[in-house]
Amino acid sequence: MNRKGRPFLKKRYVLTRIRDILTRPFYWLYEKRLDSHIHEWQLPRHIALILDGNRRWARSVGLKELTKGHEVGAEKVREVLTWCYGLGIPTVSIWVFSTDNAKRDPQEVQRLMQLFEEKAREWIDDPMIHANEVRIRFMGRLQMLPENVRQAIRDVEAATAQYSRFQLNVAMAYG
């Protein structure tokens, strides 16, 4: 507890990050071991992910601003996509925002919309997306989304429309 009687939330987060840094070499070894065996297996042609648990993770590490969990989750998506493209898995679908999510606290929804717009705009010029020729498509009740997010979606879909090597489907306002 600090002087005001509040728990050291930042300390908990820092300790979690230190743990992650210390275990990273072991995780790297684990990845190498998996990589040495993965080509013995038949790989899927399509992987679908429901992105869930970012707020719970943020709470578990003591973050006061729960939307930080979504930012970390977005970086994890990038890591997973890198693995999938490296393995040659042609189609990945991610469910990032359900219609139930739209009923959350308006400030949280607004921050999520900002994050979605930022990530969509990053994908427009993302070297990983273009080097792997990833076509990005969005699905769902997109008319529920703010115009700036819909415009970012149109822009990223147009920027990747010519690609066919890999496909990334993003479900938003879906379900």
Residue type at 85? Y
3-state secondary structure of 147: helix
Distance CA 42, CA 50 (A): 23
Is 101 an active-site residue? yes
Helical packing angle, 106-124 and 67-87, nearest 10°: 30
Catalytic-role residue among 100, 101, 125, 126:
101
Distance CA 37, CA 33 (A): 7
Catalytic-role residue among 35, 52, 105, 169:
52
Task: List C-alpha distances in Å: 127 to 6, 31, 41, 80, 163.
Answer: 43, 23, 29, 16, 13
Distance CA 119, CA 138 (A): 13
Active site residues: 52, 101
